[in-house]
Amino acid sequence: EAGVTQFPSHSVIEKGQTVTLRCDPISGHDNLYWYRRVMGKEIKFLLHFVKESKQDESGMPNNRFLAERTGGTYSTLKVQPAELEDSGVYFCASSPDRGFYEQYFGPGTRLTVT
Amino acid sequence: AQSVTQPDIHITVSEGASLELRCNYSYGATPYLFWYVQSPGQGLQLLLKYFSGDTLVQGIKGFEAEFKRSQSSFNLRKPSVHWSDAAEYFCAVGAKAAGNKLTFGGGTRVLVKP
């Protein structure tokens, strides 16, 4: 069974540019989560999808971040325009939609904004 | 609100020695507790989890953790460390009432000396 995959693994962009991160969850997992770790800080929750619906987006830092999950499969996280403080590692995780299960994490996308 | 504290930012241990990583959490009810490990260049891998039942939990790679409700702790232990255990370790707490999102501690980086 394939795990959670994320693309790209690294991205270096200039301030003001746009970047789109992609996450493919484990097949059949209805729950999809985005987290972020800014340098030197803890991993923080961004948002949670159940299928294609946003269940909780309380962790999204501002309206420069837009997450989508069309069709309830893969998800994208767009940052537009990127700022220096957006640099960090963005993790995606997925879990089945029954009760409370552990979340399976992808390898992360390291975003550097210069 | 949930919170997790990992008091030790860095720990250095000799190969073959025992390891204990501390984790304290704050949550009003019984939380779900997790330890994840991130090896260099890798994503987050689940080591073990506690949902209910036996408070001593066995995980992968020879790790175990003990849930102590009275101390709000979930410390991770390994009797004999291998060089491959050099990594960053994260304690996390989740709860259904919080929408299953995870709250992470700041992480503990473990260095293994030969």
Predicted confidence (pLDDT) per residue in B35-60, tens digit: 999 998 788 999 999 988 889 999 99
B89-A74-A84 Cα angle (round to 5): 60
Whether residue A11 is predicted with pLDDT greater than 80 in this model: the reply is yes
DSSP B97: G
Query: Which residues of chain A does B106 touch, with a Cβ-Cβ cutoff of 8 Å?
Result: 41-42
Query: Which residues of chain B does A33 touch, with a Cβ-Cβ cutoff of 8 Å?
Result: 101-102
Look up residue A77 and give its two tokens.
């996280």
Question: In this complex, is the C-beta atom of A72 within 8 Å of any C-beta atom belonging to chain B?
Answer: no
Q: Please tell me which residue of chain A has the smallest CA distance to B93.
A: A102
DSSP three-state, residue B28: coil
A25-A26-A32 Cα angle (round to 5): 40
pLDDT over 70 percentage in chain A: 96
Interface test with B, best of A34, A55, A105, A109 (most B CBs within 10 A): A105
Look up residue B16 and give its two tokens.
């073959």
From CA A81, how far away is CA A64, in angstroms rounded?
6
What is the model's pLDDT at position B34? Answer: 95
DSSP three-state, residue B12: strand
What is the model's pLDDT at position A62? Answer: 93
Q: Are B67 and B50 in contact (CB under 8 A)?
A: yes
Average pLDDT over residues A8-15: 97
Do A100 and B45 make contact, defined as CB atoms within 8 angstroms? Answer: no
